[in-house]
Structure 1
Amino acid sequence: MATRVAGVENVPHIVGTGDNRVLLVLPDVYSTVGAALGIVKLTGDPPAGVPSTTVGRAVTDGLIRKIKVSYIGANTKRKTATLIVAGDKAMQARASLIGSTYNSFKIKTAYYPTRIQLG
């Protein structure tokens, strides 16, 4: 799930720009990749007119998307993490994430998860 990371505190973030901004409570792991994903950590009071919502509701409304990144962990095993990306940054997020750092590890690949329903 994109809203829980072990050992990391959840804090409020502003996701998106303009009229598509929402206030979400996300893990505090977006400090290095937040600009590429359209996520800014909230400091102080929330801005007026920005609605607070949940991750599931924002995905359903099309305001945000989930993106998966893979990186090589400390024990040389490939690990994945699910991150949130603002809807208006979704087109360029994959290219801008590759090579950047997540939890002090270099991101190798980024992709949008898809589900296939059989039957």
Structure 2
Amino acid sequence: MARLRVRVHLDAGGHVGPGRADLLAHIATLGSIAAAGRAMGMSYRRAWELVEALNDAFSAPLVQTAHGGARGGGASLTPLGEEVLHRYRAIVDAATQATMANLVALQALAPPPARKPD
């Protein structure tokens, strides 16, 4: 099935797209930037770069970190981070619903996927 990928470009130059939204969701679930990066198959450094880009793109940080200690630190979404993730997902859902008939029509015009040999 054809699918829509949405990237929102902000006036200040930052953006939120499917990868960054997934990273935020993984941080919220796993409580760690490193674990979120691993879950997405990216390096710790790349995950940190994306978090920094997201934090810089908004009026306040989306991700807050706690330094190590007895429990090893971690990361979580700020209320703004939760709102950004929620609003991005709402934009994607609305765009998908609005374009569903055209996505189906486009898919019908494409050849069927190649079958893998048994």
Normalising by the smaller structure, the TM-score range is: under 0.3
Q: Which structure: greater helix fraction?
A: 2
Please give the TM-score of this superposition, normalised by the length of structure 1: 0.23
Compare CA radii of gyration and give the structure with the larger one. Answer: 2
Q: Which structure: greater strand fraction?
A: 1
Please give the TM-score of this superposition, normalised by the length of structure 2: 0.23
